[in-house]
Amino acid sequence: MNNLYDRVLQHPNYYRQFNCNESLITIFSCPAEARLMKNKFSPLWTQHNYLFYVVEGRKIWHIAEGSYDIGAGSCVFIRKGAFVLEQFFDEGFCLVLFFIPDEFICQTLGQKFSAPVKSAGHRQVITLNSSETLAGFFHSMASYFAEAREPAQSLLELKFKELILTIADNPVNSELLSYFCSLVNEPRAISLERVMTDNYRYNLKLEQFAQLTNRSLSAFKRDFQATFNSTPGKWLLEKRLQYARSLLSMYSEKTISDVAFESGFETTAHFSRSFKQRFGVTPSSVGNS
State which amino acid sits at residue 130.
S
* First-residue to last-residue Cα distance in the chain: 33
Q: 188-289 — its CATH code?
A: 1.10.10.60
Whether the CB-CB separation of 32 and 235 falls below 8 Å is answered with no
Question: At residue 141, does pLDDT exceed 60?
Answer: yes
2-185 and 188-289 share one CATH topology?
no
Sequence ranges of the domains in the chain: 2-185, 188-289
Q: What is the pLDDT of residues 179-232, one digit of tens each?
A: 888 888 877 778 899 999 999 999 999 999 999 999 999 999 999 999 999 999
Average pLDDT over residues 81-98: 85
CA distance linking residue 175 with residue 190, whole number of Å? 18
Condensed to tens digits (0 to 9), the pLDDT of residues 24-44 reads: 888 766 554 445 556 788 899
Residue 50's pLDDT is: 94
Classify domain 2-185 by CATH number: 2.60.120.280
pTM attached to this predicted model: 0.86
Question: CB neighbours of 39 closer than 8 A, spacing ≥ 6?
Answer: 87
pLDDT value for 32? 47
Over residues 140-165, mean pLDDT = 86
Torsion of CA 219, 223, 224, 227, to 10 degrees: -170
